[in-house]
A and B are shown apart, each in its own frame.
Chain A
Amino acid sequence: RKEVEQDPGPFNVPEGATVAFNCTYSNSASQSFFWYRQDCRKEPKLLMSVYSSGNEDGRFTAQLNRASQYISLLIRDSKLSDSATYLCVVTRGYSTLTFGKGTMLLVSP
């Protein structure tokens, strides 16, 4: 099993749609979880941390299921500007991170 697995997509959705991304991880000792966003040919930027209780930031909701080693990201009311690659990230050691290959989202008018 790969350390962090994501569906590469692309997910093609119309503006206003709700879209969900999933991610699984193999290291049961991982303590912190994140979603990063990466625009084409740019650096990754932190979108949000993911907590066991679930957390929301505006149109974005992240969920963590430690028992299933599964992380999700839900985007409501998609905007054109949401088009990007979304990276699932988990901690591997004291300060190192493991990145998934990303899921590409394309939002069309």
Chain B
Amino acid sequence: DGGITQSPKYLFRKEGQNVTLSCEQNLNHDAMYWYRQDPGQGLRLIYYSQIVNDFQKGDIAEGYSVSREKKESFPLTVTSAQKNPTAFYLCASSIIRGPDTDNEQFFGPGTRLTVL
């Protein structure tokens, strides 16, 4: 069964603690992405990676870090520097076919992080 898994579904942390969110895909997709969604808001891009051992900042990278050591995995660390970390975090992946073709993204079920 191919897909994207994120764990855990719900996560609670105390303020000031770093936390790492897991994202794994077995779709053999080249690219992976992390988004944040706040209530009533659209998805905002945090980081993305198009190839192993390389990644780029998105629109709201401050306070976050990522790694891409394997094609299947793209963990996101929410650091204590992130001022408002409570949010719904979504991981996605896509094939990269080219600049003029559909590069639709497929999403994992998300992790709801609450910082107390």
| Interface, chain A (partner B; CB < 8 A) | 4, 8, 31-32, 34, 41-46, 49, 87, 91, 94-97, 99-102
Task: Tell me what chain A mostly uses at the interface: helix, strand, loop, or mixed.
Answer: loop
Asked if A45 meets B40 with Cβ closer than 8 Å, knowing A31-B99, A95-B94, the reply is no
Which of B42, B45, B96 contacts A102 (CB under 8 A)?
Answer: B42
Count how many pairs of residues, one from A and one from B, have CB atoms less than 8 Å apart in the complex: 55
Of all chain A residues, the one with the shortest Cβ separation from B6 is A43
Q: Once the chains bind, are B100 and A97 in contact (CB under 8 Å)?
A: no
Give A87 to B41 CA distance when docked, in angstroms.
11
Task: Tell me what chain B mostly uses at the interface: helix, strand, loop, or mixed.
Answer: loop
Give A97 to B88 CA distance when docked, in angstroms.
18
Chain B interface: which size bin? 20 to 34
Segment from B11-19, B64-72, B78-86, B107-115 that makes contact with A: B107-115
| Residues of B close to A91: CB separation below 8 A | 103
B1 in the interface, Cβ–Cβ < 8 Å? no
